[in-house]
A and B are shown apart, each in its own frame.
Chain A
Amino acid sequence: SQTIHQWPATLVQPVGSPLSLECTVEGTSNPNLYWYRQAAGRGLQLLFYSVGIGQISSEVPQNLSASRPQDRQFILSSKKLLLSDSGFYLCAWTPGGKSYEQYFGPGTRLTVT
């Protein structure tokens, strides 16, 4: 069966510090991968998605970036965090083909101080 992991689970970082969040999927190959953010009291905002290694599409211009160095690994990064980057970050995957539902990881709670 497929599983998705995210780490760390929680993170407190000062403004201006770098960020690296990691997401990995097990039990599947060539998934589509997604990064979302949930700010407090708000819905889901799609940040990035990837349909293959090295292929990243950005939905929202900001100081975040994403990379996909391996088939089942998706990384969210920032060189300098802003207060507004605080939120709950969710990684998701979909097997593609005729399956369109997305499966979500447990999330990372990021607090920028």
Chain B
Amino acid sequence: AQSVTQLGSHVSVSEGALVLLRCNYSSSVPPYLFWYVQYPNQGLQLLLKYTTGATLVKGINGFEAEFKKSETSFHLTKPSAHMSDAAEYFCAVSFMNRDDKIIFGKGTRLHILP
């Protein structure tokens, strides 16, 4: 069965420090991978996605993620955290099927310390 695991429900980093949010998935078929961000009382916004091709994917707001098939991981990084990055982040995985359902991780809340 396919699943997504996000390590750490809360992560705190200092402003200007590296952001690393971890995501691992399990799948028997090639996955499509996504990261979403959610600010309080708003919908989810797509940060970046991996479908095929280059395994290092760049997204909005300076975030990037690398698909590592051997590690079944898709960790999200940003070199320098900004106060505006404080939000909840969801990793998600999808597969080629007609209903296009996405499996979401449980989310990681990112706190930025001044």
- A residues at B contact (CB < 8 Å): 32, 34, 42-44, 46, 49, 51, 57, 88, 90, 92, 94, 96, 98, 100-107, 109
**Are A104 and B32 in touch, CB under 8 angstroms?**
no
Q: Can you name 11 extra interface pairs (CB under 8 A) apart from A32-B99, A101-B49?
A: A32-B100, A34-B101, A43-B90, A90-B43, A100-B95, A102-B100, A102-B102, A104-B44, A107-B42, A107-B43, A109-B41
- A104 to B88 alpha-carbon distance, docked (Å): 15
Q: In chain B, what residue has the closest Cβ to A4?
A: B43
- Determine if B111 is an interface residue (Cβ-Cβ < 8 Å): no
Cβ < 8 Å to A, chain B residues 60-90: 90
Output the least CB separation between A100 and chain B (Å). 4
Residues of B within 8 A of A98 (CB): 51
Contact size class for B?
20 to 34
Q: Does B34 contact A (CB under 8 A)?
A: yes
Tell me which of A46, A102, A106 has the highest count of chain B C-beta atoms within 10 A of its own C-beta.
Answer: A102
Docked complex: B18-50 residues within 8 A CB-CB of A? 32, 34, 36, 41-46, 49
Pick from A57, A90, A101: contact of B99, CB below 8 A: A57
Which are the 5 A-B pairs with shortest beta-carbon distances?
A: A104-B43, A43-B106, A100-B94, A104-B44, A44-B104
With both beta carbons as reference points, the residue of chain B lying nearest to A107 in the complex is identified as B43
Interface residues of B (CB under 8 A from A): 32, 34, 36, 41-46, 49, 51, 90, 94-96, 98-102, 104-107
**Distance between Cα atoms of A94 and B105 in the complex (Å):** 19
Q: A44-B104, A100-B32, A100-B51 are in contact. Are A106 and B42 (CB under 8 A)?
A: yes
Q: In the complex the two chains form, what is the Cα distance from A104 to B104 in whole Å?
A: 13
Q: A51 contacts B99, CB within 8 Å?
A: yes
Q: Which residues of A contact B46 (CB under 8 A)?
A: 101, 103
Cβ of B95: which chain A residues have Cβ within 8 Å of it? 100
B99 and A104 contact, CB distance less than 8 A: no
Given contacts A51-B99, A101-B34, A101-B49, contact A43 B41 (CB under 8 A): no
Residue in B closest to A43 when the chains form the complex, CB atoms: B106
Tell which of A34, A46, A90, A101 has the most Cβ of chain B within 10 Å: A101
